[in-house]
Homo-oligomer: A and B are copies of this chain.
Amino acid sequence: MSARQVTLAEVAKQAGVSLATASRVLNGSTRQVSEDLSERVLRTAEELGYVPNASAQALARNSSSLVGLVVHDITDPYFSCIAAGVTRVAEEAGLVVVLGTTGRRPEREAELLSTLRAHRARAVVLAGSRTTDRAAQSRLAAEIDAFTEQGGRVACVSQAKLGTDTVVPGNRAGGRALARALAELGHKKFAVLGGPSELVVARDRLAGFKAGLTDAGIAPPVVINGAFTRDGGYAAAMELLASKSRATCVFAVTDVMAMGAMAALRERGVRIPEDISIAGFDDIPTLRDTVPALSTVRLPLEEMGEIAAGLVLDAGGDEARTVRVAGEVVLRASTAHN
């Protein structure tokens, strides 16, 4: 066992050419190699089952074919969709994606970035949401700098202001549009299940939603904060119920939270939408099969992943580019007229 790996040198020797020539043939270069030699090398490589040593190539070229992808939780459909987009693009470009998960701990983001830097990843997509945690944020910024200085590119999904390329979903605008749409249904009293207050995404959606209510001349909503997860939504909804709120419509800042909230309501015998309407944000694919179908703001998640990967892969200038992605309000069965 452990038969040693076939090296370029062996291929070269076997084919009767120099190392340089073999390298040029097999791994492409600006230089031309005669048809004759070229074919001989190719054939020998094939016969010997040569596979280039990626580490050696990375070392020699001082750049690898790794692309990092950092998410909070890969089981969350929001992230897995983005991941799908990123991997598709990366694989098409012949690159390999490294998956890092933070488990929602902000400090892990910087750690992962450092690891990625050690591996000389050529690019990283940061899909975790930005927090307002000063310390974590500045450490992250430092790592991003180090990473880019080293020649790597960084793109963020949904968190601007880090001086990197960014894909920005219309969180605020989406929240606002949703609020208006719900107001048009006749609702007057709203509650919001907001995520953790330090998450910028959650804040933006909430702020947009409030603005939309203001537009419609409606009083600000009750806000209940909770974790950015299904269980967070469940707990927040329970809290809402306990508070004897008179809200007729609930906005959960995330579909995943909305799912949890719906479960809580259902459990307590609250009918949706007869007793209370509910809406989410993201339009994750699993929503297709929810009953009642959840109203939400659709974000093209997979596409966002593709865009981020695209940004990070084609060089671009020094300027940090920003691609805005609009959210589209989709009203379904979970929201009714009031």
Contact = CB atoms under 8 A, between A and B. Distances in A.
A34 interface: no
Contacts of A49: 146
The 7 A-B residue pairs with the shortest CB-CB distance, nearest first, are: A55-B58, A99-B99, A54-B119, A291-B291, A54-B118, A55-B59, A55-B55
Contacts of A288: 230, 263
Contact of A263 (B55, B91, B289, B302): B289
B291 A55 contact: no
A152 to B, nearest CB: 10
Contacts of A77: 75, 77, 286
B119 A149 contact: no
27 contacts: A1-B148, A1-B149, A2-B150, A2-B151, A3-B149, A49-B146, A51-B146, A53-B118, A55-B59, A55-B119, A55-B120, A69-B99, A74-B83, A75-B81, A75-B285, A77-B77, A77-B286, A83-B99, A87-B99, A87-B101, A88-B101, A98-B99, A230-B289, A259-B286, A260-B289, A290-B290, A291-B291
A230 B262 CA distance: 22
A97 B280 CA distance: 32
Contacts of A96: 98, 100, 115, 119
A56 B81 CA distance: 34
